[in-house]
């Protein structure tokens, strides 16, 4: 599997590590209640098909990336810097 890092170009998957759903970028406000934080921390969908997930280019430029990957085919559909991803500008809604 190869991932096209927006900064480094196409790289081997050994340079990257997987973190989890990109939803982690959209965290609740500090005032949000227990329910919202519980949902943010623990509840994830497990879709068969395209998912948005966080990857870390630890052996490369050390960017956090949001990778859109099809979980049934492992096809990588798109890659963007986490700071540019829409999740980074959203707040979790419980």
Partner 1 sequence: MIELVAKPPCEGLLPVTIGTVTLSEPDMAPLTLIAPMKGKEVALAKAMQTAHKLEWPEAGATSGANGAALVWFGRAQALLVGVAASTKLNAHAAVADQSDAWARVVLEGEDAREVLARLTPLDMRDRAFPVGATARSEVFHMQASITRMGADSWQIIGFRSMAATLVHDLTRAMESMAARSQR
Name the site residues for partner 1 (rule: CB under 8 A): 7-12, 14-15, 58-63, 81
Structure tokens given for 33: 């209640």
Nearer to partner 1, 51 or 54 (CB): 54
Q: How far is residue 23 CA from its own chain's centroid? A: 7
Nearer to partner 1, 9 or 33 (CB): 9
CB of 56 to partner 1, least distance (A): 11
Q: Give the span between the Cα atoms of 27 and 74, in whole angstroms.
A: 27
Nearer to partner 1, 12 or 38 (CB): 12
Q: Give the span between the Cα atoms of 78 and 37, in whole angstroms.
A: 28
């Amino acid at each position: 599997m190869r991932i096209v890092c927006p900064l480094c170009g196409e790289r081997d998957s050994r340079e990257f590590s997987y973190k989890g759903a990109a939803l982690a970028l959209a965290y609740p406000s500090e005032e949000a209640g227990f329910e919202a934080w519980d949902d943010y921390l623990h509840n994830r969908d497990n879709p068969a098909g395209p998912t948005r997930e966080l990857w870390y280019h630890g052996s490369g430029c050390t960017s956090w990336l949001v990778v859109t990957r099809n979980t049934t085919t492992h096809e990588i559909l798109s890659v963007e810097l986490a700071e540019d991803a829409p999740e980074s500008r959203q707040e979790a809604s419980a």
